[in-house]
Amino acid sequence: MEVGIQRKKVGGAGLITLHSPRSIATNHYKMLFSKVDRICRREKKKVIAVTSSVKGEGKTTTVSNLAVVGAKNFGERTLLIDGDFNNPSVPQQFELPSGQGLVDVFEGTCQLGEVIQKTSIENLAILHVGHISQARRDKNIWATKQMAEAIEEMRGWFDYIWIDAPPILPLFDMNVISQLVDGMLLVVQAGKIPKAVMLQSLKSIDSRKFIGSVFNRSKISWPQKNYSHHYKY
């Protein structure tokens, strides 16, 4: 199956795994991917949604860098889906223009294989939301038969499918996404939300699908010189 009309050059500022491949942060993303990969291989998971309790905790940055690491450093055929239909952020993360995407496929104006964009990063492709109308925004796209069919079709094309999912609060029903994916990661920004809110988010995720949480933006001082000396990558 040939997907993508043309190869797109990418490079947003948030893609530290691409711009600073020898940085401490990049090494952390590699370690995180390795841990997730071990779980996914053991439990045969390949479609992973990344969410957060509320907007602004860094889920898009986290899932984007994991996708880059998986494709670039681990050689996995990787698709990153912009699945936050009310706040699509993947194009900005990768500095790509918005174009046709999932919604356009649902509207019947194009085929799924035509809107999956190859990127300049080997093994990495991106699928945008597309041209979404207010009527589509008001409808839970994740609950449609079309979404389930699209996810199922793409399973055969990639080793990993990462989804930038909507934040859980205040209203999103995570059970809808849980039915479509194999696993879920919860991004938690240090100091962003009260513990009670985080626990409420965890309760909304199907425990059978929950892989783990990512503690983001914690203030930890690392001795840069010593760290670089002991870790080669």
Residue 8, pLDDT above cutoff 70 = no
Return the CATH number at 185. 3.40.50.300
- For residue 225, being part of any structural domain is answered with no
Residue 137, pLDDT above cutoff 70 = no
What is the mean predicted confidence (pLDDT) over 5-30?
77
- For residue 55, being part of any structural domain is answered with yes
State pLDDT tens for residues 63-121. Answer: 999 999 999 999 999 999 999 988 889 988 888 877 889 999 988 899 999 999 999 99
Structurally, how many domains does the chain consist of?
1
Q: Using CA of residue 152, residue 186, residue 75, residue 103, what is the dihedral sign? A: positive
What pLDDT is stored for residue 173 in this prediction? 75
Q: What is the pTM of this model?
A: 0.86
Boundaries of domain holding 152: 16-218
State pLDDT tens for residues 189-232. Answer: 888 788 888 888 888 888 899 999 998 866 554 444 433 323 22
- For residue 147, being part of any structural domain is answered with yes
- For residue 1, being part of any structural domain is answered with no
- For residue 226, being part of any structural domain is answered with no
What average pLDDT does the structure give for the chain?
84
- CA 149 to chain centroid, in Å, comes to 19
Contacts of 85 (CB under 8 A, 6+ apart): 103, 129, 132, 136, 137, 141, 166
- For residue 2, being part of any structural domain is answered with no
